Structure 1
Amino acid sequence: MGTALAQPSPATTAAPAAEKAPIKTLRYAFRVAETGFDPAQVTDLYSRTITAGIFDAPLRYAQLARPFKLEPSGCEMPEVSPDHRVFTFTVRKGLYFAPDPAFKGVKRELVAADYVYAIKRHYDPANKSGNLYVLQNAGVLGLDALREQALKTKQPFDYNREVEGLKVLDKYRWQITLKGPNPRFIHSLADPMVGAVAREVVEFYGDKIMEHPVGTAAWMLKNDEWRRSSRIVLVKNPHFRDEFYNEEPPADRPDLQAMAAKLKGRKLPMIDRIEIAIIEESQPRWLAFVKGEADLTEEVPAEFAGIAMPNGQLAPNLAKRGMQMNRYVRADAVVSYFNLEDPTVGGLQPAQVALRRAISLGTNLDQEIRLVRKGQAKAAQGLIAPQTFGFSPRFKSEMGEYDPAKAKALLDLHGFVDRDGDGWRERPDGSPLEITYHTQPDGQNRALSELWQKNMDRLGIRIRFKLAKWPENLKAARAGKLQMWGVSWSASIPDAEDHLGLAYSANIGQANYARFKLPEYDQLFERQRQLPDGPERQALLERMDKLLVAYMPYKVHVNRVFTDMTQPWVIGHDRNIFRRDFWQYLDIDPALQAQAGR
């Protein structure tokens, strides 16, 4: 991109001005709209992707390291007590927040109190944190009592009160103490939900804080170009520290080693600007990439997989244009949850469990994978996701089984039969059996709804669909207002606890959309949390997964396989599924971009 220069007057002569470096802009799209940018409030993947680029969590995952490895971000690696209860952090000196009117012209340094404040914000009832369960499950000493006091008295949350479990030790050091051992808690401190927040920024913007993210990481929101649910623009944080590319790829990836050698020592971030369009429909999202209007596409839409990568290989016409492909298994699970508090599909009585199991058995995953997902997924056997500790490729269960005859037999046995001869089953008490499935108005969800309709028609179960935008469904799901909803859950840490927490009763109203409550499951969840990784913990995790198959609060459909594609001028792309803010490791070759006419 060039800048027009004024011509010198005939009476003067001047040395030619140095050509201004082109502004490197990365353009791509989200398939779902953002909800906002406050780490204490957002829970969806897309908003959290933005907050990961703006706010420094204490730690982060090294971009290319495999197996996944934690490294310093806003803090140095912590001192951890032998019993994994006390974590002492030191903030890296010389880190500064992006400029903002809240600082009144002062360059504001990151300090220990910012992390303590950021964590406390999750306990403030006013913020309605959807991630609070992560900290509560870990058992940070004293913070639950502080929250209960605010709830009981209806007084503002007391941020100034020090608690045993969360302390500022000095300007740069802070400490977090848990009730009991938790060997994996440290992974939660690489999550953008605990990104450092300046108190004066929150107080300056008040209830508009979701629209004004201000952090110390590489990026800042360009508010004057942000168009809600349409376009998000990020630019470099001018106060970002000096950080240089120094990634260490695995020994068995010579391609990544060559890439890392090429980029080694480069100042981060290497690009200047990120433009993210919100494009919910797959076709325009894919066409924007093919036409060169986007520099990368995350998750090539399933309906175009056969064109873009027949038999899992980059299509010759795309390869000829120099496009690159990165294929990987997501640490996620696509689920349909049943609201266990709903009178039709909920409950733990044998008949109600049989109904959910029958619906699961009547769900044709092979057709879903072939017809809707175009082979870009594998049938799931349980809730534990690939690429996390606890996942076993040998584990097989009824979750991945399709058997409509068995499903019908289960329904008949438990009294879900057609009493009036109209072709539709009634409930055991004779009342109508009808389920309502909430979904979104995009192409893939329409195709999934059509398949649901066929599957339920085959069982004689009425099903109707209710459409809403994704953020609206998310809000209603957390409030327990939806009977059924389909959603994917991406792990934020490489451990099974992230997914198994979806069924822990303490997480009802947050991650536990199914509102599942089973004492045996809760006891196992709490017990495994204190154990180190090993055979004993693995056995407990598998027992929990089997309980979820037996009671079926979630029908787990598939584990997705993603394929990202980049234009030939994009350098340095390799997906780390536990790093949302991959942009700072990318570069753009302006010469190749210009050669392509972009």
Structure 2
Amino acid sequence: MPAFAAVSAFIGVHLRTLAVGLLFFAVPAHAADPKKVIRVAWSSAETSIDPQAESDEASGSIAHAIFDPMLAYDFLARPSKLIGNTAALPEVSDEGATYTLRIRPGILFAPHAVFNGKPRELTAQDYVFSIKRLLDPKLRSKWLFLVDGKIKGATAAMEAAKKSGKFDFDAPIEGLQALDRYTIRIKLTQPDYSFPYVLAMPATSALAREVAEKYGDDIGFHPVGTGPYQITAWTRGSRVVLEANPNYREEIFSGDPGPDAVSRAIHARLQGKKLPIAGRIEINVVDEAQPRWLAFLNGETEYVRPIPEEFANLAVPGGKLAPNLAKKGYQVMPDEIAYITYTTFNTQEQIEGRPNSLGGFTPEKVALRRAIVHGWRIDEQISILDKKQSTRGYSMIHPAVSGHDPAFVSPTLEYNPAKAKALLDMFGYVDRDGDGYRENPDGSPLTFDHASEPNLRERQRNELWKKSMDDIGIRVTFNTVERLPQLRKQAQFGRLQSFSYGWIADFPDGENFLQLLWGGSIGQTNYARFDHPEYNALYERIKRMPDGPERNALMTRMVKLVNVYVPWMVETYKARSILVAPWVTGYKKHPFSHEPWKYLDIDLERLAKR
């Protein structure tokens, strides 16, 4: 899905017309039905529902149901197509360096005591305030990379905040202005043809300043937005209940019918309906796969996304829906996300004042990381851990986004324990005391710790790590075991040596993956703390370029640098499936959006007969 092709359709004269897509009409329509409930079980918990702060999938999905970005994706259109949401599609000038958007009048925030019982209308200034929040050093936003260095005057505002200790939200920023109540203009430091994608992400959604100021650092636990749902019950890390926002605008579905029969059937059922349809969403956090799977089979949840790898062979043997499930009317569909998995290696030379056995860029350290990669039993990961719900990945850029080179295959990622042993021998990692494990070239013990979550799958992964590393004589420990939000925080601060993770593309451009190893993302999403001058310079160049062969060539060069210095071991591209209950209609996962809750409908009669 080339990014420039997706964006070019709305650059120029055609942008000056209103978007076709989700239209808002002041016509009578049925309200969301409180009897229609979407129940889901998630494997990991939310952290906080602050769209500018958190980047995990759970928090993002909930935030996207509560808060509104200015733009959105047409639900069924493939390739992905941007449409207006709270604003019409932007007017573009200065060859892609200036974006002007007009907010639709009459959009209201959900009711909240801070508004003193009065309707609170969404304005352009709310988006100015919310985007400024990304720049506030105090927030330590994981989404800063989306705007870092891009908006005129923003870097100076950030530097002033670092010096004073407080971000001045009232100080004007040249590139971020509300021209009037409903018009926002964003001026970039240079052309960026992918920037409209940023305006479709929850990270640029609107918060009301008075709510943010009331709750301060605790704002993530008091979300108030203009989206289709609001939180009505919340046991942190365990259960979240959303109900339809009573102030939500009249949103009547209309859009592209999509390229396939399933999409066209969904389109026909949704045509002309008011969104959202279901009045309630119930989310429960269930760490282990078996109870999540059993809850679905028992009719306690409406869908399971994805099908747990442990049960994939039961649900979709040979890639086809099991006959017993098909007979009952269950539906299987691909989980349309651009999702890569990788293991990250901390490349800094010390961790909290202690030497890091994996860190540094001297030849022996690079050789050690390469040997670890050569020793990893990737085929067993795919067959045993993933249950063949993934394919081998060589590039950190997923095939579904621009910049992916399908011809690139890296010898660095080859499973080859003999090559691993030869590398280790060559650079002085040998077993001096005969205990079966190698020492460092200086004779000190060689070991590294692989951090993991406390669940069955990660315990199985750890067993595979031990077997893989024992084969080549490297001692690996598993002392750091915490839930994923805590692991991410530790990785942000550079406290982990290695851990296995993944990234789901936020928009259809390879830049979204490449920023994960950009030096400017250290302390945010660059868990490897990789800070390579050439890589950084190339990243700065591609941010300024439109999609095309020249930009793609630079992206491939960056991928090669990653394979040379090995801050990551790229593992797989996920190829997972979703199972949907017979009484649910409208489910289709968009590649670059979160859960499609507002489109889902429940057949109450069929549900009663389950």
Which of 531, 549, 556 lines up with 2:570 in the alignment?
556
State yes or no: 1:141 paired with 2:152: yes
In structure 2, the CA distance between the partners of 1:329 and 1:549, relative to structure 1 (3 Å rule), is farther
Distance (Å, rounded) in 1 between the aligned partners of 2:300 and 2:83: 35
CA distance in 1: counterparts of 2:266 and 2:458, whole angstroms: 37
Please point out which of 562, 576, 599 is paired with 1:585: 599
Distance in 2 between residues matched to 1:329 and 1:146, nearest whole Å: 38
CA contact (8 A) 1:66 1:249 kept: no
Q: 1:330, 1:386 within 8 Å by CA — same for their partners in 2?
A: no
Q: Which residue of 2 aligns with 1:206?
A: 216
Aligned to 2:194: 184
Corresponding letter in the other structure for 1:87? Y
Deviations 1:451-491 (A, max 9, x none): 01100000100000121111111111111111111111111
Tell whether the 8 Å contact from 1:348 to 1:551 is kept in structure 2 after alignment. yes
Determine whether 1:463 maps to 2:493.
Answer: no
1:244–1:268 Cα contact (<8 Å) kept: yes
Cα deviation 1:40-82 (Å, max 9, x = unaligned): 2111111011111111111111111100011111211111114
Paired with 2:604 and 2:34, the residues of 1 have a C-alpha distance of: 7
Once the two structures are overlaid, the 10-residue window that deviates more, 392-401 or 369-378, is 392-401
Kindly indicate whether residue 381 of structure 2 is the aligned counterpart of residue 368 of structure 1: yes
Q: How does 1:411-490 map onto structure 2 within 5 Å?
A: 411-465=424-478, 466-490=480-504
Match of 2:590 among 576, 579, 586: 576
Match of 1:517 in 2: 531
1:241-260 correspondence runs (5 A) = 241-251=249-259, 253-260=260-267
Give the match for residue 4 of structure 1.
none
Mapping 1:193-592, distance limit 5 Å: 193-222=203-232, 225-251=233-259, 253-328=260-335, 330-342=337-349, 343-465=356-478, 466-592=480-606
**Alpha-carbon deviation of 1:153?**
2.1
Matches of 2:34 and 2:65, distance apart in 1: 22
Q: CA deviation at 1:528?
A: 1.5
8 Å CA contact 1:130–1:511 kept in 2: the answer is yes
In 2, Cα distance between the equivalents of 1:296 and 1:429?
Answer: 54
Deviation track 1:488-542 (CA, whole Å, cap 9, x = no partner) reads 1111011111111111111111111111011111111111122211111111111
| Partners of 2:588 and 2:453 in 1: CA distance | 30
> Which stretches in structure 1 are left out of the alignment for 5+ residues?
1-19
Distance 1:259 1:34 in 2: 29
User: How far does the alpha carbon of each residue in 1:20-56 deviate from its partner, in whole angstroms, 9 at most, with x for none?
Assistant: 9761000011110110101121111110111111111
Indicate how the Cα distance of structure 1 residues 85 and 460 shifts in structure 2: closer, same or farther if over 3 A, else same.
same
- Residue in 2 that maps onto 1:153: 164
The residue type paired with residue 247 of structure 2 is: H
Alpha-carbon displacement from aligned partner over 1:392-442 (angstroms, at most 9, x marks no partner):
333211254111101111111111111122111111111111000100011
Q: Which has the larger radius of gyration?
A: 1
Q: Distance in 2 between matches of 1:249 and 1:414?
A: 59
Letter in 2 for 1:445: E
Q: Which runs of 4+ in 1 moved over 3 A?
A: none
Give the counterpart of 1:33 among 27, 38, 45: 45
Could you tell me how far apart the structure 1 residues matched to 2:413 and 2:271 are? 45
**DSSP 3-state at the match of 1:446:** helix
Q: Deviations over 1:207-244 (max 9, x none)?
A: 2211111111111111xx21111111111011111111
For the residue of structure 2 that corresponds to 1:136, the secondary structure is: coil
1:97 aligns with 2:109: yes
The Cα of 1:202 is off from its aligned counterpart by 0.7
- Equivalent residue pairs, number: 572
Read off the aligned partner of 1:231 and give its amino acid letter. R
Amino acid at match of 2:601: D
Cα distance per residue 1:101-159 (max 9 Å; x no partner): 1111011000000000001111122212111122105x2111121121121122x2110
1:48-197 equivalences in 2 (<5 Å):
48-137=60-149, 139-154=150-165, 156-197=166-207
Distance 1:23 1:133 in 2: 41
SS of match in other structure, 1:127: coil
Q: What is the RMSD of the two structures over their aligned residues, measured on CA atoms?
A: 1.3
How far 1:258 sits from its partner (Å)? 2.2
1:17 aligned partner = none
Question: Does structure 2 conserve the Cα–Cα contact (< 8 Å) formed by 1:329 and 1:386?
Answer: no
Q: Deviation at 1:246?
A: 1.3
Identity %: 44
Contact 1:336 1:484 (8 Å CA) reproduced: yes
Checking the alignment, whether the CA contact within 8 Å between 1:439 and 1:467 is kept in structure 2 is yes
Stretch moving more, 541-550 or 572-581: 572-581
TM-score (norm 1): 0.94
Measured after TM superposition, the shift of residue 248 of structure 1 is 1.5
- Name the aligned partner's letter for residue 481 of structure 1: R
- Between the aligned partners of 1:250 and 1:40, the Cα distance in structure 2 is 31
How is 1:9-24 mapped onto 2 (pairs within 5 angstroms)?
A: 23-24=35-36
Instruction: State how far apart, in whole Å, the 2-side matches of 1:400 and 1:344 are.
Output: 20
- The question of whether the paired residues in 1 share the 8 Å contact of 2:306 and 2:335 is answered with no
Aligned mates of 2:46, 2:124 — CA distance in 1: 29
Distance 1:54 1:92 in 2: 18
For residues 528 and 489 of structure 1, the distance between their equivalents in structure 2, rounded to whole angstroms, comes to 20
Contact 2:337/2:592 (CA < 8 Å) preserved in 1?
no
Tell me the SS of whatever aligns to 2:563.
helix
Give the whole-Å Cα distance in 1 for the aligned partners of 2:74 and 2:33: 29
